[in-house]
Every structure is written in structure tokens, then in C-alpha cells.
């Protein structure tokens, strides 16, 4: 589901607990900016037994969207949660006039690359040494919506 401002304020800490170990503390910073209305990103979440099991942060500009972060709680992976998130995000994008979705992913992140490929994202190129800590290339991917 797409979280509104009040749900995000309540579940921000839960989302950060999932994202921060993977994204080096950036999830907390993004969520804080969104709650404080400094960033207009949208946050989608999937719940299991009333708790956040996975989230996806989406940024949109005109008819383009970018997946900023997506992560699933470590003990909940390979159960279709990221798939549920992507189905919802693609549906939301199609309804909201988005023509193309972009993202970047670490070259060594094979689970995520397989996930995006399964959802029809094409690999468009490489951005050399894009990520710090450890330094690594980014793979640029995109998907056109019908
Ligand atoms: C990538 C990630 C979001 C996938 O979440 P998930 O809920 O486990 O994914 P799903 O169960 O919905 O799987 C969807 C598809 O992703 C791919 N996939 C997911 N995990 C995989 C793995 N460990 N190895 C290979 N493919 C994998 C498969 O294609 C899978 O489809 P299948 O089950 O039909 O084979 C999850 O591994 C994660 O949170 N990783 C850490 C954060 C991250 O790397 N985010 C992306 C940064 S750009």
C-alpha cells in the first residue's frame, strides 16, 4: 500500500530498521525528509501480520519515476514480498501517467538484478565506480510502461 503521511510517521522507524543495514543509514534520512516534507517521494509498504515486511521508495518527476530504495526484511525474503511491492508500484505508475521507471543497482547485487529483470527492467549501461564503501559500479536499468 501507498503510505500516507500519518502512516509513514508511525511506521518510519520500522522501515528504517529494514533499510538502514542495507543502505548504510540512508533509509532513515529519506524517511525523515519525506515526513518533514523536504522530499516529495512516495513510500509503498507490504505488511505481514500487521508489521512492515518490505518497502519501496519512489521518486517521480513529470512522467518519469525512479526507484530510490527497495528492501525486504531479511527473514521475509523469497516469499514474494518485493514482487507484491513492484506489482503495486507499476500499477500506481501506470495510473499516474508515468511512462518510464529508472533505477541503479550495485553490479554484485545479483538477487536485485534478477528481481528487476523478472519485472521487465532492461540493463541500459554501467556507471563506473558509482557506489562508495565499497567502491563498485552501478548498473543502470529502466522499464517503459505500456
Ligand atoms: C532484492 C529483494 C528486494 C528481493 O525481495 P524478495 O521479497 O525476496 O523478492 P521476491 O520473493 O518477490 O522474488 C522476486 C524475484 O526476485 C528474484 N530474486 C529474489 N531473491 C533472489 C535471490 N536470492 N537470488 C536470485 N534471485 C532472487 C527472483 O527472480 C524472484 O523471482 P522467483 O521467486 O520467481 O525466482 C531482497 O533480496 C532485498 O531486500 N535485498 C536487500 C536490499 C536490496 O538489495 N535492494 C535492492 C537495491 S537496488
Question: Beta partners for 65?
Answer: 60, 101
Is the pLDDT reported for residue 91 higher than 90?
yes
DSSP 110: H
Q: Identify the band that residue 28 occupies on the pLDDT scale cut at 50, 70 and 90.
A: very high
Q: Identify the band that residue 68 occupies on the pLDDT scale cut at 50, 70 and 90.
A: very high
Spatial separation of the C-alpha atoms in residues 35 and 21, rounded to whole Å:
20
Average pLDDT over residues 94-116: 97
C-alpha dist (Å) from residue 28 to 34, 60, 141: 10, 20, 25
Asked if 58 and 67 touch (Cβ cutoff 8 Å), the reply is yes
Mean pLDDT of the chain: 96
Residue among 68, 88, 109, 111 whose CB has most ligand 1 atoms within 8 A, to mutate: 111
- Indicate the pTM of the whole model: 0.97
Domains and CATH numbers, the chain: 5-144 (3.40.630.30)
Q: Supply the residue whose CA is at minimum distance from atom 23 of ligand 1.
A: 111
Q: How do residues 30-61 score in pLDDT, each as one tens digit? A: 999 999 999 889 999 999 999 999 999 999 99
Spatial separation of the C-alpha atoms in residues 84 and 24, rounded to whole Å:
24
Is the pLDDT reported for residue 117 higher than 90?
yes
Spatial separation of the C-alpha atoms in residues 101 and 29, rounded to whole Å:
23
Catalytic residue status for 130: no
Cite the DSSP H helix spans in the chain. Answer: 5-23, 26-35, 81-95, 110-118
- What integer pLDDT is reported at residue 47 of this predicted model? 96
Q: Identify the band that residue 146 occupies on the pLDDT scale cut at 50, 70 and 90.
A: confident
Q: Is the peptide bond before 134 cis (omega within 30 degrees of 0)?
A: yes
Rounded to the nearest 5°, which phi and psi values hold at 91? -65, -45
Q: How do residues 121-134 score in pLDDT, each as one tens digit? A: 999 999 999 999 89
Amino acid at each position: 500500500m501507498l503510505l500516507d503521511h500519518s502512516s509513514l510517521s508511525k511506521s518510519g522507524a520500522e522501515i528504517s530498521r529494514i533499510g538502514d543495514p542495507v543502505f548504510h543509514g540512508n533509509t532513515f534520512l529519506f524517511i525523515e525528509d519525506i515526513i518533514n516534507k523536504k522530499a516529495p517521494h512516495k513510500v509503498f509498504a507490504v505488511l505481514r501480520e500487521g508489521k512492515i515486511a518490505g518497502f519501496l521508495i519512489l521518486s517521480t518527476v513529470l512522467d518519469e519515476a525512479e526507484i530510490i530504495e527497495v528492501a525486504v526484511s531479511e527473514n521475509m525474503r523469497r516469499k514474494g514480498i518485493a514482487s507484491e511491492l513492484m506489482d503495486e508500484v507499476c500499477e500506481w505508475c501506470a495510473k499516474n501517467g508515468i511512462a518510464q521507471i529508472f533505477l541503479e543497482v550495485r553490479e554484485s547485487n545479483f538477487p536485485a538484478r534478477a528481481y528487476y529483470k523478472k519485472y521487465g527492467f532492461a540493463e541500459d549501461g554501467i556507471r563506473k565506480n558509482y557506489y562508495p564503501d565499497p567502491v563498485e559500479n552501478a548498473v543502470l536499468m529502466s522499464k517503459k510502461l505500456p
